[in-house]
Amino acid sequence: MDTAQIQPIESIGYNVYLNDSLNELVNFVEQGNYSKFFILTDEFTTVHCLPLIEEKLTGKTYDLIEISAGEECKTIDFCIGVWKMLIDFGADRRSLLINVGGGVVTDLGGFAASTFKRGIDFVNVPTTVLSQVDASVGGKTGIDMDSIKNIIGTFTQPKAVFIEQAFLKTLPSREILSGLAEMLKHGLIADAAYWEALKNSDLSIPSTELIAQSVVIKNRIVISDPTEKSHRKALNFGHTVGHAVETWSLDHDEKEHLTHGEAIAIGMICEAWLSVKKNTGLTESELNDTVKVLTRLYPKYEIKDSTFPALIELMKKDKKNEGNTINCTLLKAIGTYSINAICTEDELSESLKYYAAL
Amino acid sequence: MDTAQIQPIESIGYNVYLNDSLNELVNFVEQGNYSKFFILTDEFTTVHCLPLIEEKLTGKTYDLIEISAGEECKTIDFCIGVWKMLIDFGADRRSLLINVGGGVVTDLGGFAASTFKRGIDFVNVPTTVLSQVDASVGGKTGIDMDSIKNIIGTFTQPKAVFIEQAFLKTLPSREILSGLAEMLKHGLIADAAYWEALKNSDLSIPSTELIAQSVVIKNRIVISDPTEKSHRKALNFGHTVGHAVETWSLDHDEKEHLTHGEAIAIGMICEAWLSVKKNTGLTESELNDTVKVLTRLYPKYEIKDSTFPALIELMKKDKKNEGNTINCTLLKAIGTYSINAICTEDELSESLKYYAAL
């Protein structure tokens, strides 16, 4: 498939551009009736991505706001920093914020924009695989607090999203693999053929076509349920266990912590196991196929029995829960999901044990 | 008019109850499918208002979150405090936050709720005249930052508002006068008969009927323009100059600063003068009538010539402006307004001089 044929994907009131995206960004900026432009980057995207954008934006003046890179920067303190810069630079209600970066930049920038003067326009230029396939649709903005991911945020749609494959070439392979986990999840929950295609593709740099398929799948789910009342919970597959493992790693691994995708891969293994255990329909052989692909791509992470209770506590704090139960999205088969599965603490412990014994 | 005849006022997706309101609150709480309740108060409403609510809520358990009182507490730090309490108390997406207090509590509580887990339900129980007539409709939530009022916030509607006159009896008269300024504004911008009625009423504790008329006027304007693109700017009458004076007083008056209403009364005088000056239609005699009523009710505040430049700077930072202009809402006559009047710095200085010379 020629990428020139990839049409913009229509999400909730805005387009996701995958073809000639930086020129589309320039068009957008030129056609919008904006008083000022702001670009939000992190220390890496300033170096690796901003020059490509600047090349296109010739003659346009803007103010740059840069934050430090990494999930540990997705905090209210950095958000306050962005708000104060917007104030100091004289942003008004007709200003546009252009978020250039991974999920931390697009989530935090989206939250800052959606709450500045009760909401100014923003667009996202996701620069990682993860943010291209995950943060590009859905309208979720947010920051972390007290080690709980995205606990503070809004549902606010960007005015457009621009996906440029060139940015992926600057990423370390571990970062690419992190995003790939969400692509694999899209296959597992919604499209067995896509899962097969991913298994058999060269994934060192995912093609724009594969990225587009992921965006289409996520977009279809999001449009059917913008505020996560039902269908959208499909996207939580792997995330109940995965978020807990990710948070634990962020808090405890001093040297190097798990990436989002590495944690979600662990979560998908545990929750695929729970699917079989709780007879949702997933077969043993589908479980084995899932485990085989994920363990081939992602390194084994050591989880000690003594850590299980702390992980369970984190799962209880997950914002997806209601009351005192722990809520999971499981698989009925590869390509179909089942939401609102209540899992007991024992079952979740057992699933961690299964992973640990692989 | 018997208050029993005051029907709930329908705002954007929710009702404002003015009759038997605390029982209506109990009905709401009982009928909603909520997992937990939280009540947000300030140090005064905990003492003066919470007992009346507790009396009705017999047998219901809830967690109390209390913040300090005063506009200087409408900050991100207090908001973070509320978020962290919600986390610690285990609030989930089906939790309800009941904001009991003046505008600081309802604005800050509304912002905290609208961003916690990307939005949980909240209801407002405004306990001051100002919050009953101003914050009860409009869906504006927010906090101040860097001395700029409501610079961070969202447009989010509460699920209901409960107005109880009994709370007003606990207020100092200066606090009642503060709210009255907004009621007078409603008359000036939208209803000459209501302005006349207010002029001739005993305003020591405004009647529920007068409060209801104000809510009806504000509600009509808000419904016609929920996100402040046009008509809603009518409500900004007196607020361009007023907000600047209020902010200046908050930052500089060490002993006792102006109330919101006192500042808005000054703003209304200046902006009524600007209306005549800029020939919007307001007559000299209407200006004199306005000034006479406002100076009778509100004490004179000294504004030195040397302060004018700082006030103008604050007006420039007002979030209502676009680009480098200063935007005012003026009066065409008592009872009608004119939005988007661009005022020069000189004109605004002159209007302050007019006030100072009264």
pLDDT per residue as tens, chain A (358 positions): 455 578 999 999 999 999 999 999 999 999 998 999 999 999 999 999 999 999 999 888 999 999 999 888 999 999 999 999 999 999 999 999 999 999 999 999 999 999 999 999 999 999 999 999 988 999 999 999 998 889 999 999 999 999 999 999 989 999 999 999 999 999 999 999 999 999 999 888 999 999 999 999 999 999 998 877 889 999 999 999 999 999 999 889 988 999 999 999 999 999 999 999 999 999 999 999 999 999 999 999 999 999 999 999 999 987 667 667 899 999 999 999 999 999 999 999 999 999 999 9
Q: Does B147 touch chain A (CB under 8 A)?
A: no
Contact A152 B321 (CB under 8 A): no
Residues of B in contact with A83 (CB under 8 A): 145, 151-152
| Mean per-residue pLDDT, B238-250 | 94
Summarised one tens digit per residue, pLDDT across range A186-244 is: 999 999 999 999 999 988 899 999 999 999 999 999 999 887 788 999 999 999 999 99
Mean pLDDT of chain B: 94
What residue in B sits closest to A313 (Cα-Cα)? B90
Contact B293, B269 (CB under 8 A): no
Q: Does A117 touch chain B (CB under 8 A)?
A: yes
Q: Does B229 touch chain A (CB under 8 A)?
A: no
Contact A253, A263 (CB under 8 A): no
* Residue reference for tokens 């007019």: B354
Summarised one tens digit per residue, pLDDT across range B124-183 is: 999 999 999 988 999 999 999 998 889 999 999 999 999 999 999 989 999 999 999 999
Contact B322 A35 (CB under 8 A): yes
CA-nearest of B332, B337, B325, B330 to B351 is B330
Q: Does A114 touch chain B (CB under 8 A)?
A: yes
Residues of B in contact with A80 (CB under 8 A): 76, 145
Residues of chain B with pLDDT > 90: what percent? Answer: 86
pLDDT at B233 over 90: yes
Exposure b/e, B35-67, CB count within 10 A at least 16 = b: ebbbbbbbebbbebbbebbeeebeeeebbebbb
Distance CA A239, CA A249 (A): 14
Residues of A in contact with B146 (CB under 8 A): 84, 87
Instruction: For chain A, give percent helix, strand, coil, nearest 5.
Output: 55, 15, 30
CA-nearest of B333, B324, B318, B327 to B284 is B333
Phi, psi of B257 (to 5 degrees): -100, 165
pLDDT of residue A71: 85
- Residues with Cβ < 8 Å from B327, sequence gap 6 or more? B233, B240, B318, B320, B321, B340, B341, B342, B343
Put the strands of the sheet holding B63-67 in their side by side order.
Answer: B9-10, B15-17, B160-162, B121-126, B95-101, B36-42, B63-67
| Mean per-residue pLDDT, B278-304 | 97
Contact A316, A326 (CB under 8 A): yes
Instruction: Looking at the complex, report in whole angstroms how far the Cα of residue B92 sits from the nearest Cα belonging to chain A.
Output: 6
Vertex B77 angle, CA B141 and B151, to 5°: 40
Tell which of B111, B115, B230 to mutate to test the A interface (max A CBs under 10 Å): B115
Residues of A in contact with B84 (CB under 8 A): 145-146
Which 2-41 residues of chain A touch chain B by CB within 8 A?
35
Q: Does A146 touch chain B (CB under 8 A)?
A: yes
Q: What is the sign, positive or negative, of the torsion defined by CA atoms of B291, B292, B297, B302? A: positive
Picking from A83, A90, A94, the nearest residue to B152 by CB comes out as: A83
pLDDT of residue A103: 93
- B116's tokens: 């916690």
Helix (H, G, I), strand (E, B) or coil at B105: helix
Q: Which amino acid is at B95?
A: S
Q: Give the number of beta-carbon pairs within 8 Å between A and B.
A: 90
* Predicted confidence band of residue B1 (pLDDT cuts 50, 70, 90): very low
- Residues with Cβ < 8 Å from B331, sequence gap 6 or more? B188, B189, B237, B271, B272, B275, B280, B281, B282, B286, B337, B338
Maximum Cα–Cα distance across chain A: 61
Contact A316, A324 (CB under 8 A): yes
What residue in A sits closest to B147 (Cα-Cα)? A87
Picking from A148, A155, A321, the nearest residue to B92 by CB comes out as: A321
Residues of B in contact with A118 (CB under 8 A): 140, 142, 150, 153-155, 227
Domains annotated for chain B, with CATH where assigned, are 3-170 (3.40.50.1970), 173-356 (1.20.1090.10)
Summarised one tens digit per residue, pLDDT across range A333-356 is: 999 999 999 999 999 999 999 999
Distance CA B220, CA B237 (A): 16
pLDDT at B4 over 60: no
Residues of A in contact with B83 (CB under 8 A): 145, 151-152
CA-nearest of A196, A236, A303, A317 to B88 is A317
Contact A152 B83 (CB under 8 A): yes
Contact B145 A84 (CB under 8 A): yes
pLDDT of residue A1: 46
Picking from B92, B111, B145, the nearest residue to A323 by CB comes out as: B92
Q: Does B52 touch chain A (CB under 8 A)?
A: no
What residue in B sits closest to A318 (Cα-Cα)? B92
Residues of B in contact with A227 (CB under 8 A): 118-119
- Residues with Cβ < 8 Å from A235, sequence gap 6 or more? A138, A185, A189, A218, A221, A222, A329
Residues of B in contact with A84 (CB under 8 A): 145-146
Residues of A in contact with B145 (CB under 8 A): 80, 83-84, 87
Exposure b/e, A82-109, CB count within 10 A at least 16 = b: bbebbbeeebbbbbbbbbbbbbbbbbbb
| Mean per-residue pLDDT, B281-299 | 97
pLDDT of residue B319: 65
pLDDT of residue B203: 85
pLDDT of residue B227: 77
Q: Does A174 touch chain B (CB under 8 A)?
A: no
Instruction: Looking at the complex, report in whole angstroms how far the Cα of residue A355 sits from the nearest Cα belonging to chain B.
Output: 29
Q: Which amino acid is at B165?
A: Q
Tell which of A85, A118, A146 to mutate to test the B interface (max B CBs under 10 Å): A118
Residues of chain B with pLDDT > 70: what percent? Answer: 98
Instruction: Looking at the complex, report in whole angstroms how far the Cα of residue A36 sits from the nearest Cα belonging to chain B.
Output: 8
State the virtual CA torsion across B237, B243, B249, B252 in degrees, nearest 10.
Answer: -150
